[in-house]
Amino acid sequence: MGFDCEPGHAARIVRRTGGDYLCAVAPVAAAPVSGARRVGEMRTASLLLGVVCAMRLFVSAQAAPQENADTTIRALEHAWFEGESRSDNRALDQIFDNGLVYIENGKSFTKGEYLAQIRSAGPHPEQVVMETMSVRMFGRAAIVVGSYREKSGNDGKTQVRRWRFVDTWVNKKGRWLLVAAAAAPLSR
């Protein structure tokens, strides 16, 4: 293979990568290595190892807040469903940003209008089941896309409707708040 792994060369590193052998070499002077030089090399190697470990910890620490935010937002989505099914405007008020824009069936609602609609709405669906939900993080913002199914009874007839939704959450002063949402019925 033509590798120059001859005596008189140091730092020979032979690795097997996908069946190929690699050899990195550096010529070495014939002088013996002193104890002080060896200690300096060990310190450098230790420092490099420390930097690599610190970088791994930093990357892991960056992933943890996103995973926690994902879990928090999913829980808030479920809390929204629960709050709406119980007409709990106090709970919903804590989840919604004051500037909330909600769109359903092509009609736009402010936070106040949406909460008033929840308060004055007739019977709520008997069952609401989340079918899919994906959370995509964008720094201090998150987009949630999903679908759900609601089952309701009217005059002895059961009706099932499926909806697609997209929600936008923003982290404000350490709290995730819903700032925009839209839902539309799926065709049968």
Residue 46 shares a structural domain with residue 79 = no
- 1 part of a folded domain: no
Report pTM.
Answer: 0.62
User: pLDDT (tens digit, 9 = 90+) per residue, 75-129?
Assistant: 999 999 888 888 889 999 999 999 999 999 889 999 999 999 888 876 667 777 8
Mean pLDDT of 164-175: 96
What's the burial of 104, exposed, middle or buried (CB within 10 Å: 0-12/13-18/19+)? middle
Residue 125 shares a structural domain with residue 81 = yes
Q: Are residues 170 and 176 in contact, defined by beta-carbon separation less than 8 angstroms?
A: yes
Residue 136 shares a structural domain with residue 100 = yes
CA atoms of 180 and 177, how far apart (whole Å): 9
Residue 50 shares a structural domain with residue 132 = no
Q: How many domains does the chain divide into?
A: 2
Give, in degrees to the nearest 5, the angle at Cα 133 between 185 and 90: 80
Residue 15 shares a structural domain with residue 79 = no
Residue 132 shares a structural domain with residue 167 = yes
- 2 part of a folded domain: no
Among 81-85, 151-155, 178-182, which stretch is predicted with the lowest mean pLDDT?
A: 151-155
Q: Are residues 146 and 64 in contact, defined by beta-carbon separation less than 8 angstroms?
A: no
Q: For residue 78, give its domain range.
A: 66-185
Residue 100 shares a structural domain with residue 142 = yes
